[in-house]
């Protein structure tokens, strides 16, 4: 099914180098069934031509507030009313500042004031500009106004710097737009059975440092944990994700705590678990960490070397051992005797539920888009066959909710 079928998306483009990706963004949004209209700032036109965006969107591109002809065709107020959703990508530091100041001195900023549609922005700027207090304060303002913030991502930047500030990739922006629209549909058409509940979810891998440049980790992408977070949020839960290093976007309206090591994840999980109703431990936590992290890069001076490892605390077991523990769901990533080992973890870690995940089977498990689970409690077993992680997450969240209800 095309998630954006019949949806009217207004894409606002401001003047950053990432604007060159927007024709592709328009095409992928249209692939999902959206009708896309483009509004460009003057700066955007220095990076990409209106003609290109008109060709890919099959709609006239708007770029001026004071153009009499444009106002005759579709005036700025009509445009603001037309949109079901406004996505601004890339959103420069300058544009973000203007919106946060409530300015309306060009078409795009005026539309932001004049629309009742939800607005998402995908920041794109130099990493130093992103970290600047002015930008961060402007972002806080927009977040407090319920703007959705898509990104930014980290990595190498056009200016040669490395860090946070890259516009998210086109496929990530499309996924987040679909998730935001789905959550809007749910807002108006579906009940929110998880309203009032706090869900705490661990996701992604952990990294255990060996020296300043090396670490031990695993192949977890965070996709499964983030899909669970999104599914729970869409059903009304207040969701916090504690995530190891991942390169996927945080689902809309979920709060993410970024961590690196198992010890950090443990600390944050215990800090938040007591006030959570449900804890889902989907992260692939390193079982061991390096006994002593070298201060300097270890030299290649021997043919063999040994690393001394010590056991990390078991996060899910420690949460399950709390006096007022949340309903605690673990995962069991296994390559053999999957159900047997999962049942052992369910009992040994005192969990309420465990999702047994065969990570040796083709096309599922770590870093895949699909997965299959066998969900076990002490008295019940439910098989969730191979499907997309987002569909699987919805079914798992429903199952957790039903089991939790029965247990109360």
Q: Minimum distance between the CB of residue 184 and ligand PMT, rounded to whole angstroms?
A: 25
Could you give the residue numbers annotated as active site? 159
| 79/262 with CB nearer ligand PMT | 262
Does position 345 bind ligand PMT by CB under 6 A?
yes
> Binding of ligand PMT at residue 333 (CB under 6 A)?
yes
Residue nearer to ligand PMT on the CB measure, 31 or 287: 287
Closer by beta carbon to ligand PMT, 17 or else 283: 283
Q: Does 91 bind ligand PMT (CB under 6 A)?
A: no
**What is the SS3 assignment for the chain?**
CCCCCCCEEEEEECCCHHHHHHHHHHHHHHHCCCEEEEEECCHHHHCCCHHHHHHHHCCCCECCCCCHHHHHHHCHHHHHHHCCEEEEEEECHHHHHHHHCCCCCCHHHHHHHHCCCCEEEEECCCHHHHHCHHHHHHHHHHHHCCCEECCCEEEECCCCCEEEEECCCHHHHHHHHHHHHHHHHHHHHCCCCCCCCEEEEEECECCEEEECCEEECCCCCCHHHHHHHHHHHHCCCEEEEEECCCCCCCCCCCEEEECCCHHHHHHHHHHHHCCCCEEEECCECCCEEECCCCCCCCCCCCCCCCCCEEECCCHHHHHHCCCCCCEEEEEEEECCCHHHHHHHHHHHCCCCEEEEEECCCCCCCCCCCEEEEEEECCCCEEEEEEEEHHHHHHHHHHHHHHHHHHHC
With binding defined as CB under 6 A, does residue 331 bind ligand PMT?
yes
Q: Does 221 bind ligand PMT (CB under 6 A)?
A: yes
- Based on the shown chain and the rule CB under 6 A, indicate whether residue 312 belongs to the binding site for ligand PMT: yes
76 binds ligand PMT (CB under 6 A): no
Least distance (Å) between residue 376 CB and ligand PMT:
13
Per CB under 6 A, 248 contacts ligand PMT = no
Interface residue with ligand PMT, options 4, 29, 174, 332 (CB under 6 A): 332
Q: How far is the CB of 64 from ligand PMT (least distance, A)?
A: 45
Q: Is 314 in the site for ligand PMT (CB under 6 A)?
A: yes
User: Which of 31, 42, 287, 337: binder of ligand PMT (CB under 6 A)?
Assistant: 287
- 222 binds ligand PMT per the rule CB under 6 A: yes
Q: Is 152 in the site for ligand PMT (CB under 6 A)?
A: no
Question: Using the rule CB under 6 A, is 197 a contact of ligand PMT?
Answer: no
Should residue 262 be labelled a site residue for ligand PMT when binding is judged by CB under 6 A? yes
* Residue number of the CB atom closest to ligand PMT: 315
Residue ranges in contact with ligand PMT by CB under 6 A:
202, 204, 220-225, 262, 281-285, 287, 312, 314-316, 330-333, 345, 357, 359, 365-367
């Amino acid at each position: 099914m095309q998630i954006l079928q019949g949806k009217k998306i207004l894409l606002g483009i401001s003047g950053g180098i990432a604007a060159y990706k927007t024709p592709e963004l328009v095409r992928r949004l249209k692939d999902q069934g959206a009708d896309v209209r483009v509004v460009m700032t003057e700066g955007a036109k220095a990076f990409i031509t209106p003609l290109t965006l008109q060709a890919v969107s099959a709609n006239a591109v708007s770029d001026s507030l004071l153009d009499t002809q444009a106002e005759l065709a579709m005036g700025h107020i009509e445009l603001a009313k037309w949109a079901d959703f406004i996505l601004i990508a890339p959103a420069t530091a300058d544009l973000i500042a203007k919106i946060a100041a409530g300015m309306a001195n060009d078409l795009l900023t005026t539309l932001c004031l004049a629309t009742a549609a939800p607005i998402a922005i995908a920041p794109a700027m130099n990493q130093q500009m992103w970290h600047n207090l002015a930008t961060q304060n402007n972002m806080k303002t927009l977040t407090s106004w319920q703007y959705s913030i898509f990104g930014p991502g980290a990595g190498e930047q056009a200016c040669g710097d490395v860090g946070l500030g890259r516009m998210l990739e086109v496929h990530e922006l499309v996924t987040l737009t679909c998730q935001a629209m789905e959550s809007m549909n749910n807002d108006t058409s579906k009940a929110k059975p998880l309203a009032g509940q706090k869900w705490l979810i661990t996701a992604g891998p952990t990294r255990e440092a060996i020296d300043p440049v090396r670490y031990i980790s695993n192949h977890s992408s965070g996709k499964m944990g983030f899909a669970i977070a999104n599914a729970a949020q869409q059903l009304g839960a207040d969701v916090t994700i504690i995530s190891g290093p991942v390169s996927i976007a945080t689902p809309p309206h979920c709060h993410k705590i970024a961590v690196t090591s198992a010890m950090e994840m443990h600390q944050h999980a215990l800090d938040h678990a007591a006030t959570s109703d449900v804890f889902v431990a989907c992260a692939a936590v390193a079982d061991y960490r390096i006994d002593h992290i070298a201060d300097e890069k270890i030299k290649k001076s021997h043919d063999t070397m040994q690393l001394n490892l010590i056991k990390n605390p078991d996060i899910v077991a420690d949460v399950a051992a709390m006096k007022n523990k949340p309903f605690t769901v673990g995962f069991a990533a296994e390559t053999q005797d999957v159900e047997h080992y999962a049942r052992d973890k369910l009992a040994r870690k005192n969990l309420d539920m465990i999702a047994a995940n065969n990570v040796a089977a083709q096309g599922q498990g770590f870093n895949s888009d699909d997965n299959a689970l066998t969900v076990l409690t002490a008295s019940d077993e439910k098989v969730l066959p191979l499907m997309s992680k987002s569909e699987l997450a919805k079914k798992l969240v429903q199952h957790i909710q039903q089991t939790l209800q029965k247990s109360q």
